[in-house]
Amino acid sequence: MNRESNLYTVIYAGVLVVFVAAALAFTNQALKETQKKNEEIDKKIQILRCLNVTAEADEVEAKYNELIQESFLVNKDGSKAEGDAFSEDIAKAYSNGTALPVFVAKVDGATKFIIAMRGTGLWGPLWGYMALNDDKNTVYGADFSHAGETPGLGAEISTPHFGKQFSGKEIFKNGTFKSIAIVKPGKTADGQDYVDGISGGTITSQGVDKMIYSSLNNYVEFLKTK
């Protein structure tokens, strides 16, 4: 057969595309369940990490069930909403200001409220979880994740030492919401608590700063009700 004829070229391209599409669709369907399970485990690891608990993949389930007492959804005005907090799409929740997930954990007898955060960094989305003490003001722990920040620079926000800085910081000052600022190492912020950003990861650090403000802002009414 003439390999250079138009007919052959068109048929070849058509067959190739159909074959490739079928192969990819099959792989995607076959692996979907396992991938979803991995994502859930990963999410639980992140939630546990903001409580300063590190867990391996095989023990996550047990530790999560032990520490997390309940989870519920709140609206921006502080009222409760229907639904499953764990599977709630946080991006959608923030754009509507409804159904924001809250997880309640008990660590050594003390209640911690865990809230979800979501924002944008330099290359893609950022997200994280922040655990607050039962005064709903002092930070107990925080954990940050990213989709594709630069390794060695912006990606450093997911290291434990960055998250640890938040412990003990307060998000309200004299009853008004102030958030926690990310500043260049050595600088300070007026009238609010602050932590050091990442050197060389300025835009990611600014993204984290904005993310904390805008995410916590959604929860202000919930956090004010003691």
Partner 1 sequence: MNLFSGKNKEILLSPLSKKNPVVVQMLGICSALAVTAKLEPSIVMAVSVVIVIAFANVIISLIRKTIPNRIRIIVQLVVAAVLVTLVSEVLKAYAYEMSKQLSVFIGLILTNCILMGRMEAFGLSNGPWESFLDGIGHGAGYGLILIIVGFFRELLGSGTLLGIQVVPQFLYDLGYVNNGLMILPPMALITIAVIIWIHRARNKDLQEN
Interface residue list for partner 1 (CB under 8 A): 3-4, 8-9, 12-13, 16-17, 20, 23-24, 27-28, 31, 34-35, 38-39, 41-42, 57, 123, 147-148, 150-153, 199-200
| Least distance between partner 1 and beta carbon 4 (Å) | 6
Nearer of residues 156 and 209 to partner 1, judged by Cβ = 156
How far apart (Å, rounded) are the C-alpha atoms in residues 87 and 16? 37
At 159 the three-state DSSP class reads coil
Q: Which residue has the tokens 């050197």?
A: 199
Tokens for 42?
Answer: 């990963």
| Least distance between partner 1 and beta carbon 33 (Å) | 9
Contact 60, 48 (CB under 8 A): yes
How far apart (Å, rounded) are the C-alpha atoms in residues 50 and 45? 9
| Least distance between partner 1 and beta carbon 156 (Å) | 9
Nearer of residues 14 and 78 to partner 1, judged by Cβ = 14
Nearer of residues 6 and 225 to partner 1, judged by Cβ = 6
Nearer of residues 48 and 216 to partner 1, judged by Cβ = 48
Q: How many CB atoms lie within 10 A of CB 17?
A: 10
| Least distance between partner 1 and beta carbon 59 (Å) | 15
Phi and psi for 207 in degrees, rounded to 5? -60, -40
